[in-house]
Amino acid sequence: DRVDRYVQRKLTPVRGRRLLAYHPSWEYFARDYGLRTLSVHADGHSPSPRDLMELTRVSRAAGVSTIFAEPGFDRRTVDMLARDLGAEVETIDPLAGDWGPNLCRTADRIAGALAP
């Protein structure tokens, strides 16, 4: 409960903003904390060139300045997208063993990246 309250408090100022993450599993986190997601990797496959063009267009329109990647995934697509957007890449680990502190760190990083 304490972690949930912390994350809620950190992310309330950025509710409704777009979170661009490598994997669509972040949709659950986003839904629970009032964020909207864009995913690089969707439907179990890497994005096609057409998918990347659309993701770039939508990300630009949303003002995305950070892409959240995960350890263990191929970063080539994320790095290419970041170059196209002029965005930073942050690594966040949804499977870290210290789940409570990790969630708080993740909320801090997301809040910082999505702040206007």
Q: Output the six-digit token pair for 101.
A: 């502190």
The pLDDT of residue 100: 93
**Contact call for residues 8 and 32 (beta carbons, < 8 A):** no
Give 37-81 pLDDT, tens digit per residue: 998 887 767 888 898 999 999 999 999 999 999 988 888 899 999
Positive/negative CA dihedral, 66, 98, 10, 58: positive
SS3 68: strand
Per-residue pLDDT, 25: 84
How many angstroms separate the CA atoms of 35 and 16, rounded?
Answer: 5
Q: Is residue 23 pLDDT above 90, yes or no?
A: no
Tell me what pLDDT residue 45 has: 76
pLDDT of residue 97: 86
Q: What angle do CA 100, 16, 111 make, to 5 degrees?
A: 40
What is the pTM assigned to this prediction? 0.87
